[in-house]
Chains A and B, each alone.
Chain A
Amino acid sequence: MMTQTLLWTLSILLLLLGATGFAVKRDYVRRIIAFNIMSTAVLLMFAGFAVTVEDEPMLTGVFVVLLLVTSVLTALTLSMRSQLVSRFNLSDRDR
């Protein structure tokens, strides 16, 4: 039970940190970092449930899916951003 509380507290803190970063920062590199912090928080939240819910294969599957999706989204954002910055010499700040 201790582990669960610890994981959830940590997860909520990270979630708030990431959300603040996403709201405050206007450029996409910082934003994608904030997003990655938030997805780590989501993984921790999920891990917290792993203590109580006995459905291991499902949890492992979902973990892999989440990691995969997060990395693809990060890669896509960074490649779009680099197109904008290096090919068109534009700022990547969201107006």
Chain B
Amino acid sequence: MAFMMKAMLLNAVIVVALGWRLLAHGPLYWALLPSAGIPGISIRLDGLSFLFIILTAIIAVLSVFQAGHYFAGNQPIQKRLWWRVLMVLTGLNLVWLAGDLITLYVAMELVAFGVVGLIALGDQAESYRSALRYLNAVLLGTLSFLIGIILLYGIYGTVSLVSLEQQIQWTRLTGIAFALMTAGLVYRAALFPLHSWLPPAHGSSHAPLSALLSALVTKASFYILARLWLDWGQVVASPVLAQGLGVLGCFAILWGGWMACRQSELKMLVAYSSVNQVGYFFLLFPMIIGVSYEVSLLVTQGVMLQVISHALAKAALFMAAGNLVLALGSKEIQHLSGISRLMPLSLLSFGLAAVSIMGLPPSGGFLAKWYLLQSSLLSGQWWWIPTLILGGLLSATYIFRIFSQSFLEQGSEAVTQEVPKALEVAPLLLALMAVALGLFAHTPLALMIDMEVADGIR
């Protein structure tokens, strides 16, 4: 724990240094050994990647704090835990910063190795089964991504994202490569109907780790996908593919919400809510292809806001749910009765985070959905609007299921375990940030837009 806090401090120093570099000198593209012509490891730092680095730093420090208190006194698990967490965090930061496809591939695999270890820490038959299912998604997803990389390398002779952006043009083989990469990343991002590995994996691991997994790890694949589409989409993506992704996103919103309403376990409900919220991300793709610059800017802002607010809110939800489960000694929602008197603070964090998940003002989730609504009106793609409204109603339904149960008075004689006060700090902070994001969204969005790697930088 003390060691991890030092690591987090080091991370904070690096984040500040990167931020200073970005604000003082603008975006950066840097490749190791460029003189030898080896596109080895290369780094691309711009507004969007810096935004994700800050987000990772915030969520990482709070989940490490939470995990340290959650596993306090459990030395064997702590011994195995920390290096896996560090592996995931290293991989994630490398994903945000990667400047070429091979680095991206390695970073994705690094994340996957760590995540498998974290899921397996649950140490029950169910956790190993979930880990295997997650590995399935990893095996097929990255293989497909890799074939895409190889095809692009064969055609253009480079894997650097910056030079590919300049050289790429529409050919049939490029189209196939792009489609393969998209398919692989969609599997890794758990979009409907390829989502079935996600709920067991997130539901069965320990609460602070589920927070880390669902707040950050699912975002990594989506981030890569969004980056590729924003860079090359105008040239190589077909509108049909884009609309298809949007439709799948709608199905994810509805199916995830519906399944969340039907779960009997608290953490599984929260996990299905991730499937539901991930669906909103995929509305990005139909609204950046073949539309005006204003619309694509608006929808990019909306979706990135949704990604950030979902990360903060979902981490808070998982941590608060973990506290409730710990206090009750039961995973079931129907045993929640009377918890409102026993754990008011955790329930408050749960509620605040839920405000953002449901998309009520003034939260970040509200602003994100507002932007999405506006951009679907502006682009003339009105058919996304019913799903947006219905999705909001569905998320309100599954959230209120938990609240109506926890304010019931009868049946509250359940023996409760004392939950350390320190465990209630991190979810509250995260939930407050998710709500406040709606009020202070201007700064991150401006950072994202102003700091793009210009075409000239090599």
Contact = CB atoms under 8 A, between A and B. Distances in A.
A55 B100 CA distance: 15
Interface residues of B, number: 33
Contacts of B150: 42, 45-46, 49
A94 B133 contact: yes
B140 interface: yes
Interface string A15-45: 1000000100000100110010011001001
A52 interface: yes
B143 A80 contact: no
B258 interface: no
B37 A84 contact: no
Contacts of B40: 58, 61
Interface in B114-147: 116, 120, 125, 128-129, 131-133, 135-136, 138-140, 142-143, 146-147
A19 B135 CA distance: 16
Contacts of A28: 132
Nearest to B101: A62
Nearest to B124: A88
A69 interface: yes
Contacts of B157: 53, 55
Contacts of A31: 136, 139
A53 B153 contact: yes
Contact of B147 (A45, A72, A92, A94): A45
A92 B138 CA distance: 18
Given A38-B143, A42-B147, A58-B39, A52 B128 contact: no
Q: Which residue of A22, A66, A76, A77 has the most chain B CB atoms within 10 A of its CB atom?
A: A76
B457 interface: no
Nearest to A77: B135
A41 B159 CA distance: 20
B125 A76 contact: no
Interface in A62-92: 62, 65-66, 69, 72-73, 76-77, 80-81, 83-84, 87-88, 90, 92
Interface in B212-232: none
A73 B108 CA distance: 12
Q: Which residue of A58, A61, A81, A84 has the most chain B CB atoms within 10 A of its CB atom?
A: A58
B204 to A, nearest CB: 13
A73 B138 contact: yes
Given A42-B150, A53-B157, A80-B135, A58 B113 contact: no
B102 A94 contact: no
Contact of A84 (B105, B129, B136): B129
Interface size, A (range): 35 or more
Contacts of B113: 72, 76
B109 interface: yes
Contacts of A55: 37-38, 157
A66 B153 CA distance: 15
A31 B10 CA distance: 41
A88 B125 contact: yes
Nearest to B36: A57
A52 B132 contact: no
Contact of A58 (B38, B132, B135): B38
A42 B144 CA distance: 10
A90 B132 CA distance: 13
B425 interface: no
A83 B120 contact: yes
Nearest to A81: B132
Interface string B402-433: 00000000000000000000000000000000
B153 A39 contact: no
B154 interface: yes
Nearest to B103: A65
A92 B128 CA distance: 10
A65 B102 contact: yes
Interface string B377-390: 00000000000000
B110 to A, nearest CB: 9
Nearest to A61: B40
B447 interface: no
A73 to B, nearest CB: 6
Contacts of A45: 147, 150
20 contacts: A31-B139, A35-B143, A38-B143, A39-B143, A53-B153, A55-B157, A57-B38, A58-B38, A61-B102, A62-B102, A65-B102, A65-B106, A69-B106, A72-B109, A73-B139, A76-B116, A76-B135, A77-B135, A77-B139, A80-B116
* Minimum-distance CB pairs A-B, first 8: A88-B125, A49-B154, A84-B128, A83-B128, A80-B131, A35-B139, A69-B109, A57-B38
